[in-house]
């Protein structure tokens, strides 16, 4: 069983690209908020770059529990990877510079990684749900 799970984990990580669009869910009071965002998978960590005054940044600062979903086909319902995690605002200047230097769109929105308007959130992986296209049941595992 452990070997099978390791194969599933490798399959899931193989579906995630260094830069890709996913649907991020945050919470505002008791209301979920979902929107497309660019997810960065850099150095085996997930990152979201956003304006520090944006609604999603404010929501993640108030409630760090987030989920994102990657649909696995153009047709709804054919498969997905859903990852629940905890967001943390990155304040370390060295980490911000290292990760910021790998963000292809950084200079389009901010003057650099030390720009006070640049919000960099690390998403720590907690739980993964994976539905292979064509399967009827999802596989869930804890990271």
Cα–Cα distance, 112 to 123 (Å, whole number): 21
Do residues 62 and 125 touch, judged by C-beta distance below 8 A?
no
Residue 44, classed as helix, strand or coil, is coil
Cα–Cα distance, 127 to 57 (Å, whole number): 21
pLDDT in tens, 21-66: 999 999 999 999 999 999 999 878 999 999 999 999 999 999 999 9
Cα–Cα distance, 7 to 2 (Å, whole number): 9
The region that residue 108 occupies, defined by phi over 0 for left and psi between -120 and 50 for alpha, beta otherwise, is: alpha
* pTM of the shown model: 0.92
CATH architecture of 2-142: Roll (2.30)
């Amino acid at each position: 069983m452990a070997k099978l799970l390791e194969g599933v984990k490798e399959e899931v990580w193989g579906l995630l690209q260094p830069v890709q669009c996913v649907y991020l869910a945050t919470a505002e009071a008791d209301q979920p908020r979902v929107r497309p965002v660019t997810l960065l998978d850099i150095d085996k960590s997930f990152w979201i770059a956003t304006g520090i005054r944006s609604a999603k940044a404010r929501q993640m600062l108030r409630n760090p529990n987030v989920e994102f979903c990657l649909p696995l086909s153009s047709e709804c319902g054919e498969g997905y990877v859903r990852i629940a995690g905890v967001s943390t605002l990155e304040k370390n200047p060295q980490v911000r510079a290292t990760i910021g230097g790998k963000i292809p769109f950084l200079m389009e929105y901010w003057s650099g990684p030390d720009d006070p308007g640049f919000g960099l959130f690390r998403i720590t992986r907690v739980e993964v749900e994976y539905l292979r296209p064509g399967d009827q049941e999802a596989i869930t595992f804890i990271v």
